[in-house]
Amino acid sequence: MKIIYLGDISGRSGRKIIEEKLPEIKDKLKPDAIVVNGENAAAGYGITEKIANSLFDMGVSVISTGNHVWDQKETKSYINKEPRLIRPINFPSGTPGKGSAIYEDNRGRRMLVINAMGRVFMDPLDDPFRAVEEELKKHRLGSTIHFILVDIHAEATSEKMAMGQFLDGRVSLVVGTHSHIPTADAQIFDGGTAYQTDAGMCGDYNSVIGMEKDEPISRFTKKLRGNRFTPALGEGTLCGVFVETDDKTGLAKRIEPIRMGARLIETFPTI
């Protein structure tokens, strides 16, 4: 299978660059499925039903989230009726929504997407390693499932890397989100799992991780909270990864980063 994963959508700039570039990506790479992290899509804080539906209309298969998943009040009810929108699997039992989703492509191949959230410098949720392990007991890569993607939404690079190595040979792709900065370590581990510590943000990089500069700088330099963080609205850059797997095993044959847009050096897979 060929899968496109796009990192955290940050506000209007992120949504706009995806709308502009996704047709070209689909035309050139012909992905079997597209997954995005949408937890900052609504002006930097959560996601709404309207925004989620617009992403699905663009061809997105599954939307993952993270620590901002509940920032929009409507999400608590919407997520229960929309199985393609998932929240971290290690939220406590009884939390609305689900932490995984299965998508079937037009050839009958099935992709499992699992969303997990780290605990280092983050909210103290349940153990993400154990939660992912329990979910994997229900499925078998290369048999019942053709592609398994794990979005590890975490602050610490060590925790993301540990999750990748923990799952090596058992999933197709482990990709990190949350830090909004694309890392340069796209690779395939010894067991055949594709990995990148952070996919990066889809949004305005002339910012402080997607937010207008003044307020974050003021908090760092003056140690005073002033106004609410607001998303930067300049021209966006799209960041993500392209992964191709062997249908017989579900393991990765290829991973390449994608960067398209205004500010970062562009890179695109060669087909």
The span from the CA of 230 to the CA of 247, in Å, is 43
Q: Report the DSSP pairing between strands 173-177 and 33-37.
A: unpaired
Which of 68, 146, 178, 180 is flagged as catalytic?
68
Q: Catalytic site residue 178?
A: no
From CA 210, how far away is CA 191, in angstroms rounded? 35
| Residue written as token pair 């799952």 | 167
Rounded to whole angstroms, how far apart are CA atoms 170 and 201? 26
Tokens of 154: 């975490």
Question: Degrees (nearest 5) of the Cα angle 264, 258, 90?
Answer: 105
Q: Which helix (H) or strand (E) holds 76?
A: helix 75-81
Token readout for 165 is 């190595």
State the DSSP string of 118-173: --TTS---S-HHHHHHHHHTT--BTTTBSEEEEEEE-S-HHHHHHHHHHTTTT-SE
Instruction: List the structure tokens of 55.
Output: 């992403």
Q: How far apart are CA 156 and CA 43, in angstroms?
A: 24
Asked if 40 and 74 count as a contact pair (C-beta separation under 8 A), the reply is no
Which residue numbers are catalytic? 68
